[in-house]
Amino acid sequence: MSMPRYGDHISVDRMGGLYSHHGIYVGKGKVIHYDNDLGIVGKMLKIDDPTVRKVSFKEFLDGSDEYQVHLYDKSGNETKVITKRYSD
């Protein structure tokens, strides 16, 4: 099983690569990320409840077996994106 390191900026492709969802790995199998998805009922009622949530790494992946780790130089410029495979 390939897990990110504490503090890693990670992302996962959603909807077949239509967009990427980003989060920060905070250790012990947990990721913090922005989430405003209340499901179909929330969308129908046009409820907007944006929040930052802490979820399991597996929940963050949402069924994907690949994720990306974003690497930065000392100036904060993204220098590389590495794709990794996850299996539990």
Q: Which tens digit of pLDDT belongs to each residue from 18-70?
A: 889 999 999 999 999 988 665 555 555 555 666 888 999 999 999 999 999 99
Q: Model pTM?
A: 0.82
Distances (CA, A) of 7 to 10, 59, 64, 71: 9, 18, 21, 11
Distances (CA, A) of 36 to 48, 49, 50, 77: 7, 5, 4, 27
Q: Where are the domains of the chain?
A: 9-85
Q: What span, in angstroms and rounded, lies between the C-alpha atoms of 85 and 88?
A: 10
CB 57 within 8 A of CB 30: yes
